[in-house]
Structure 1
Amino acid sequence: MKKIYIILWAICAYTLAACGNHADKEHEAHDHEGHEHENEHEEEARPGEIVFPVEKAEAVGLKTKTVQPEAFAEVIKTSGRIVPAQGDERTLSATVSGIVSFTDTNTPFIEGTAVRKEQPVLSLASGDMADGDIYVRIRAAFEKAKSDYDMADALVKNRIISEKEWRQAVAPYETAKAAFDAVRDKQGDGGIAVLSPINGYLKNIRVKEGDYAAAGQPLATVAQDSRLVLRAEVSEKYYGSLPLIRSAHFRTAYDHCLYRLPELNGRLLSYARSPEEGSFYVPVSFEFDNRGGIVSGAYAEVFLLASPVPDVLCVPLSALTEEQGVYFVYIQLDEDCYRKQEVTTGADNGAEVRILSGLTAGDVVVTEAAYHLKLATASAAMPAHTHHH
Structure 2
Amino acid sequence: MKHRTFILLWAACACILAGCGGSSTQKDEHPHAHDEHSHHEHEHQHDHDHTHDHDGEEHDHDCEEETHEAVDNEIIFTAQQAKAVGLEVSTVASGTFCQVIKAGGQILSAQGDEVTIAATSNGILSFSGSVVEGVAVRAGEAIASISAKDIANGDPVAQARITYETAEKEFRRAEELVKDQIISTQEFEQTRLRYETAKTSYQAFAGKAGAHGVRLTTPIAGYLKNRFVNQGEFVAVGQPVATVSQNRRLQLRAEVPEKYFRDLQHIGSANFKVSYSDRIYKLSELKGRLLSFGKSAGQASFYVPVTFEFDNIGDIMPGAYAEVYLLSTPRPDVITLPIKAVTEEQGLHFVYVQLDEEGYLKREVTLGADDGERVQILSGIHAGDRVVTQGVYQLKLAANANVIPEGHSHSH
Q: Assess if the C-alpha contact under 8 Å between 1:44 and 1:385 holds in 2.
A: no
Q: Deviations over 1:106-127 (max 9, x none)?
A: x423222322111122211112
Query: Which residue in 2 is equivalent to 1:239?
Result: 261
Deviation, 1:53, is 1.1
Q: Assess if the C-alpha contact under 8 Å between 2:91 and 2:386 holds in 1.
A: yes
Deviation, 1:235, is 0.7
The 5 A counterparts of 1:274-293 are 274-293=296-315
Cα distance change on mapping 1:100 and 1:57 into 2, 3 Å: same
Query: Which residue in 2 is equivalent to 1:162?
Result: 184
Q: 1:128 aligns with which of 147, 150, 153?
A: 150
Cα distance change on mapping 1:380 and 1:191 into 2, 3 Å: closer
Q: 1:79 aligns with which of 101, 104, 118?
A: 104
- The letter of the residue matching 2:119 is A
- The letter of the residue matching 2:191 is A
Residues in 2 aligned to 1:268 and 1:41: alpha-carbon distance in whole angstroms: 59
Larger Rg: 1 or 2?
A: 2
Higher helix share: 2
Q: Percent identity?
A: 49
The 5 A counterparts of 1:150-189 are 150-189=172-211
Residues in 1 aligned to 2:352 and 2:249: alpha-carbon distance in whole angstroms: 41
Residues in 1 aligned to 2:155 and 2:66: alpha-carbon distance in whole angstroms: 100
Q: 1:270 aligns with which of 275, 292, 296?
A: 292
Determine whether 1:52 maps to 2:52. Answer: no
Q: Assess if the C-alpha contact under 8 Å between 1:45 and 1:386 holds in 2.
A: no
Residues in 1 aligned to 2:176 and 2:264: alpha-carbon distance in whole angstroms: 71
Compute the TM-score of the two structures, normalised by the length of structure 2.
0.79
Q: Deviations over 1:342-375 (max 9, x none)?
A: 2111000111001112222111111112233333
Deviation, 1:43, is 8.0
Q: Mean alpha-carbon deviation: is it higher for 48-57 or for 202-211?
A: 202-211
Q: Deviations over 1:20-41 (max 9, x none)?
A: xxxxxxxxxxxxxxx9xx9898
Query: Which residue in 2 is equivalent to 1:17?
Result: none
Deviation, 1:74, is 0.9
Q: Mean alpha-carbon deviation: is it higher for 178-187 or for 41-50?
A: 41-50
Q: Secondary structure at the match of 2:81?
A: helix
- The letter of the residue matching 1:267 is R
Q: Assess if the C-alpha contact under 8 Å between 2:75 and 2:402 holds in 1.
A: no
> Where does structure 2 lack aligned partners over 5 or more consecutive residues?
1-56
The 5 A counterparts of 1:105-120 are 105=128, 107-120=129-142
Cα distance change on mapping 1:211 and 1:379 into 2, 3 Å: closer
Query: Which residue in 2 is equivalent to 1:141?
Result: 163
Query: Which residue in 1 is equivalent to 2:92?
Result: 67
- The letter of the residue matching 2:78 is P
Kindly tell me the number of residue pairs found equivalent between the two proteins.
Answer: 350
Q: Assess if the C-alpha contact under 8 Å between 1:45 and 1:385 holds in 2.
A: no
Q: Secondary structure at the match of 1:382?
A: coil
Q: Secondary structure at the match of 2:111?
A: coil
Q: Deviations over 1:258-304 (max 9, x none)?
A: 11112222221211111222111111111122212211211111111
Q: 2:126 aligns with which of 101, 106, 110?
A: 101
Q: Secondary structure at the match of 1:362?
A: coil
Residues in 1 aligned to 2:69 and 2:343: alpha-carbon distance in whole angstroms: 22
Q: Secondary structure at the match of 2:227?
A: coil
Q: Secondary structure at the match of 1:204?
A: strand
Cα distance change on mapping 1:129 and 1:43 into 2, 3 Å: closer
Q: Mean alpha-carbon deviation: is it higher for 295-304 or for 375-384?
A: 375-384
Residues in 1 aligned to 2:320 and 2:150: alpha-carbon distance in whole angstroms: 42
> Where does structure 1 lack aligned partners over 5 or more consecutive residues?
1-34
Q: Secondary structure at the match of 2:131?
A: coil
The 5 A counterparts of 1:220-369 are 220-369=242-391
Q: Assess if the C-alpha contact under 8 Å between 2:76 and 2:403 holds in 1.
A: no
Deviation, 1:157, is 4.1
Q: Assess if the C-alpha contact under 8 Å between 2:119 and 2:236 holds in 1.
A: yes
Q: Deviations over 1:197-222 (max 9, x none)?
A: 22122232222333111001111112
Q: Secondary structure at the match of 1:185?
A: helix
Cα distance change on mapping 1:317 and 1:67 into 2, 3 Å: same
Deviation, 1:159, is 4.0
Cα distance change on mapping 1:319 and 1:142 into 2, 3 Å: same
